[in-house]
């Protein structure tokens, strides 16, 4: 090769190479207790607004001199990247809604919200939500977390020696939390991104859904069967077939002619009703919602000024531009008349947004809006391309929906479920893990998926129990409900064309198993409600990994079959094979007759040193489960135990004005007896009007000792056979 040709090829190679340009850090500030903000030089809020943080952080002093976790920033072809180098031996978690294992070392996540029905269980699938967040746990149990405060399309890599966030957009800020435990780090995450609001008690009951219960008659039949068979349930869901031609905020004139009467009847039977609302609005000049949206100029527009049109269930649809305050206010206003029919909760689906007909030039289906479409913005949000706002579309939608629900029913706590969301979106809606499959792989995957969402700030989540797509066998259903009934959000769901998936659909034996599983959930509602109170106050997950019992125990770091419910209850699903369990005292407990002999039920174990409040078996939450109250006590090696119970009206906002009771119980062994008493009480609510009697069950070395008493007198349990 002659010199001229060598020079030519060298120049060609250099011209085609994309170099990363290092970007210095412009500002480092302490914005909370061991929370540090890093801002790269050139960061511009008008290019990367925060849709993750609950409020703009305020500088609170100087960064500790020994602070070691410092990200580096770079630009490659105007696309921003951040890298955090790690010490050896760090276990990585988080990333939100992801497939693959609980332990995230060596994994990659595509952050681009996508309608991924029948998603596989392998690593790397794009799913419905984006959580640019990673938590690291060191070998000694101390922990840190990093937020990449960006909604741009991105990729999140968690290698053993570094965390890398590769954005397709402009520079962004990062926040690093470094504290003494993973629990403390998650509290720091909540300080930045917010917590869930205290949910209504009924939303913690069991939910039954199908795509779709296609008529009022079918809904009544389902409700009646639950009550006739005495299988606990609180909520029945209406999927899209209740609508008139899939037009949102309408009712099918033949199949759902009188939703007010239907909802009233459900209420009389102790049920609540949740109805689906999608973002796509049918393009129909005779449709009031479409006409109103057009008149108010709320639609996403193509760059030539015409309304963007995409195909969803109704056919050609327009879409509200939720980046614009006027569009959000318009959307909020649609809920008043809709909820006036007696609807209790709302389900926002297809809000990635999922669109059926968009293709790239090479014919590949994108499944959403073109990335170059410009959103209007307004208020605190700048105008920007869909590449920036896509991952926030569902998050902005549920913000608007929640406001509408609150405006329509200001004295009620809203319940809103969403498929698409962004880190921080737990402030507005609960979530589920999307269109999973009726398979053993998805059954097993549902545990680490839900744990990971909890480790990413979203405690109110769960899978479609039994699997949404394809037929579900009785064996699969029973195994799944056996532990799914103990997850934070418990809903059975089924796709059109699949077999019936109600608790009685598999014969008498599985029906009995289903009843036991759900009776267990309802007995544990006092404990579960208390865990949701803790989550709303602190940001801690309701469902947690077992390594939370001892973050320094390296044996537990990969365990993804068993899980903790709160701090004191260990759940071991029937499918679990040789799970790694925390050491110490963990007594197995029975709370419903037959639960320990039923092969499908998860094992329940209570932690030594704890007191768990349990109620009686009820059919729905309109029946108060707190009287008589049962205190399940497992003393530690010192013969002591503690526990809490949170009580309020279960609905409304009185608890914010003091109308609640937070009861703290203690137990202490003295000789051959255990004395249990109410140690303290917070709040102005009088618990004695709701709890007339207290039973106690004390678990020691596989034996159960019982006693009874009251809040005032306490309980003395004789520890003799």
CATH number, domain of 667, equals 2.60.40.1180
pTM of the predicted model, to two decimals?
Answer: 0.96
Residues 6+ apart with CB under 8 A from 696: 630, 631, 632, 633, 676, 706, 707, 708, 709, 715, 717
Structure tokens at 628: 């008589």
Domain extent at residue 41: 19-193
- DSSP, collapsed to helix, strand or coil, labels residue 159 as coil
C-beta separation of 492 from 518 below 8 A = no
Q: In whole angstroms, give the CA distance from residue 115 to residue 491.
A: 20
C-beta separation of 71 from 174 below 8 A = yes
- For residue 122, the model assigns a pLDDT of 79
Structure tokens at 330: 């318009």
Residue at 425 is within a domain: no
Q: In whole angstroms, give the CA distance from residue 132 to residue 257.
A: 44
- DSSP, collapsed to helix, strand or coil, labels residue 425 as helix
Please state the φ and ψ torsions of residue 178, each to the nearest 5 degrees. -135, 110
User: Of the residues 193, 216, 232, which one is the last residue of a structural domain?
Assistant: 193
- DSSP, collapsed to helix, strand or coil, labels residue 20 as strand
Question: What strands lie across the sheet with 490-492, from one edge to the other?
Answer: 461-462, 430-432, 416-418, 345-348, 272-277, 235-238, 206-208, 490-492, 464-465
Q: In whole angstroms, give the CA distance from residue 627 to residue 574.
A: 31
C-beta neighbour count of 520 within 10 angstroms: 22
Report the DSSP beta bridge partners of residue 154.
111, 167
Residue at 506 is within a domain: no
C-beta separation of 352 from 390 below 8 A = yes
Chain mean position to CA 51:
18
Going by C-alpha positions, the residue among 368, 338, 373, 336 that lies closest to residue 350 is: 368
**Length of the chain (residues):** 721
What is the H or E stretch that residue 630 is in? strand 629-634
Q: In whole angstroms, give the CA distance from residue 405 to residue 421.
A: 18
Alpha helices in 367-439 (DSSP H): 386-408
Q: In whole angstroms, give the CA distance from residue 518 to residue 620.
A: 11
| R_g over Cα of the chain | 26
Q: At what angle do helices 259-268 and 216-229 cross, to 10 degrees?
A: 0
Residue at 420 is within a domain: no
C-beta separation of 310 from 357 below 8 A = yes
- For residue 365, the model assigns a pLDDT of 67
What is the H or E stretch that residue 571 is in? strand 569-572
Residue at 429 is within a domain: no
Structure tokens at 465: 């129990």
User: Of the residues 178, 193, 208, which one is the last residue of a structural domain?
Assistant: 193
Distances (CA, A) of 332 to 292, 325, 348, 409, 575: 13, 10, 13, 12, 44
C-beta separation of 430 from 491 below 8 A = no
Alpha helices in 129-237 (DSSP H): 182-193, 216-229
Query: Number of structural domains, the chain?
Result: 2
- For residue 359, the model assigns a pLDDT of 59
Q: In whole angstroms, give the CA distance from residue 659 to residue 687.
A: 10
C-beta neighbour count of 351 within 10 angstroms: 27
Residue at 157 is within a domain: yes
Q: In whole angstroms, give the CA distance from residue 282 to residue 289.
A: 9
Q: At what angle do helices 508-523 and 525-538 cross, to 10 degrees?
A: 50
Residue at 490 is within a domain: no
Q: What is the CATH number of the domain that holds 39?
A: 2.60.40.1760
- For residue 632, the model assigns a pLDDT of 98
User: CA angle 199-202-203, nearest 5°?
Assistant: 55
C-beta separation of 92 from 113 below 8 A = no
* Sign, CA torsion 431/624/650/695: negative
Q: In whole angstroms, give the CA distance from residue 558 to residue 367.
A: 34
C-beta neighbour count of 169 within 10 angstroms: 19
Q: In whole angstroms, give the CA distance from residue 96 to residue 73.
A: 23
Structure tokens at 399: 């913000």
Structure tokens at 395: 């998050």
User: Of the residues 167, 193, 219, which one is the last residue of a structural domain?
Assistant: 193
Q: In whole angstroms, give the CA distance from residue 404 to residue 410.
A: 10
Report the DSSP beta bridge partners of residue 14.
none
User: CA angle 211-212-214, nearest 5°?
Assistant: 170
* Sign, CA torsion 632/548/427/195: positive
Residue at 685 is within a domain: yes
Q: In whole angstroms, give the CA distance from residue 254 to residue 483.
A: 39
Which residues are part of the catalytic machinery? 349, 352, 435
Q: In whole angstroms, give the CA distance from residue 83 to residue 73.
A: 7
Residue at 268 is within a domain: no
Q: In whole angstroms, give the CA distance from residue 330 to residue 293.
A: 8
Please state the φ and ψ torsions of residue 396, each to the nearest 5 degrees. -70, -35
C-beta separation of 206 from 518 below 8 A = yes
In this prediction, the residues of the chain whose per-residue pLDDT falls under 70 are 1-18, 124, 358-365
Indicate the DSSP class of residue 437.
B
- For residue 155, the model assigns a pLDDT of 97
Q: Which residue has the tokens 């077939």?
A: 241
C-beta neighbour count of 280 within 10 angstroms: 26
- For residue 361, the model assigns a pLDDT of 61
DSSP states along 103-135: S-TTEEEEES----TT--SSTT---SEE--EEE
Number of H helices, E strands in the chain: 12, 41
């Amino acid at each position: 090769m002659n010199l001229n040709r060598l020079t030519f090829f060298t120049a060609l190679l250099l011209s085609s190479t994309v170099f990363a340009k290092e970007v210095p850090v412009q500002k480092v500030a302490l914005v909370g207790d061991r929370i540090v903000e890093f801002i790269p030089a050139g960061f511009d809020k008008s290019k990367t607004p925060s849709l993750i943080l609950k409020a703009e952080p305020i500088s609170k002093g100087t960064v500790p001199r020994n602070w070691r976790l410092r990200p580096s920033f770079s630009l490659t072809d105007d696309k921003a990247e951040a890298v955090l180098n790690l010490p050896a031996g760090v276990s990585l978690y988080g990333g939100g809604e992801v497939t693959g294992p609980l332990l995230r070392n060596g994994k990659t996540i595509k952050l681009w919200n996508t309608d991924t029905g029948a998603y596989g269980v392998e690593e790397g699938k794009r799913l419905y939500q984006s959580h640019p967040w990673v938590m690291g746990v060191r070998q000694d149990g101390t922990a840190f977390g990093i937020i990449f405060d960006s909604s741009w399309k991105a990729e999140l890599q968690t290698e053993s020696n570094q965390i890398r966030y590769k954005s397709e957009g402009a520079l962004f800020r990062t926040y690093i939390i470094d504290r003494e435990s993973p629990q403390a780090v998650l509290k720091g995450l909540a300080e930045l991104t917010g917590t869930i609001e205290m949910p209504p008690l009924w939303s913690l009951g069991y939910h039954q859904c199908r795509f779709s219960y296609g008529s009022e008659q079918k809904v009544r039949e389902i409700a009646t069967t639950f009550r006739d068979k005495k299988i606990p349930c609180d909520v029945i869901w209406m999927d899209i077939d209740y609508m008139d031609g899939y037009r949102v905020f309408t009712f099918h004139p033949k199949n759902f002619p009188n939703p007010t009467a239907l909802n009233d009847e459900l209420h009389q039977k102790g049920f609540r009703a949740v109805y689906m609302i999608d973002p796509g609005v049918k393009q129909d000049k005779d449709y009031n919602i479409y006409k109103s949206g057009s008149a108010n100029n709320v639609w996403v527009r193509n760059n030539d000024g015409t309304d963007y049109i995409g195909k969803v269930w109704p056919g050609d649809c327009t879409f509200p531009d939720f980046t614009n305050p006027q569009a959000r206010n318009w959307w909020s206003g649609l809920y008043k008349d809709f909820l006036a029919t007696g609807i209790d909760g709302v389900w926002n689906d297809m809000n990635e947004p999922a669109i059926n007909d968009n293709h790239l030039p090479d014919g590949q289906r994108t499944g959403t809006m073109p990335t170059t479409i410009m959103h209007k913005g307004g208020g605190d949000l700048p105008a920007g391309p869909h590449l920036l706002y896509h991952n926030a579309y569902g998050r902005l939608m549920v913000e608007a929906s929640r406001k509408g629900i609150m405006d329509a029913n200001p004295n009620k706590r809203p319940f809103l479920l969403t498929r698409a969301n962004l880190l921080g979106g737990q402030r507005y809606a609960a979530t589920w893990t999307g269109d999973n499959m009726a398979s053993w792989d998805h059954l097993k995957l549902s545990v680490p998926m839900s744990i990971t969402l909890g480790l990413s700030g979203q405690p109110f989540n769960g899978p479609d129990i039994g699997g949404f797509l394809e037929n579900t066998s009785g064996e699969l259903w029973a195994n799944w409900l056996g532990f799914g009934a103990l997850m934070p959000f418990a809903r059975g769901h089924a796709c059109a064309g699949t077999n019936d998936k109600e608790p009685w659909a598999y014969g008498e034996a599985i029906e009995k198993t289903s009843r036991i599983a759900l009776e267990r959930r309802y007995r544990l509602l006092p404990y579960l409600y208390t865990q949701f109170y803790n989550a709303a106050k602190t940001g801690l997950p309701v469902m947690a990994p077992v390594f939370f019992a001892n973050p320094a125990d390296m044996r537990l770091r990969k365990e993804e079959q068993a899980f903790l419910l709160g701090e004191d209850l260990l759940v071991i699903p029937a499918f679990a094979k040789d799970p790694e369990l925390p050491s110490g005292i963990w007594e197995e407990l029975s709370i419903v007759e037959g639960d320990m002999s039923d092969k499908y039920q998860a094992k329940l174990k209570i932690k030594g040193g704890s007191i768990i409040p349990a109620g009686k078996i009820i059919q729905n939450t309109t029946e108060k489960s707190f009287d008589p109250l049962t205190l399940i006590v497992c003393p530690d090696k010192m013969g002591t135990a503690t526990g809490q119970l949170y009580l309020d009206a279960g609905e409304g906002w009185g608890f914010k004005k003091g109308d609640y009771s937070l009861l703290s119980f203690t137990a202490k062994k003295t000789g051959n007896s255990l004395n249990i008493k109410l140690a303290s009480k917070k709040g102005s609510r009088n618990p004695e009007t709701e709890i007339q009697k207290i039973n106690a069950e004390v678990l020691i070395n596989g034996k159960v000792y019982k006693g009874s008493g009251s809040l005032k007198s306490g309980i003395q349990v004789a520890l003799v056979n």
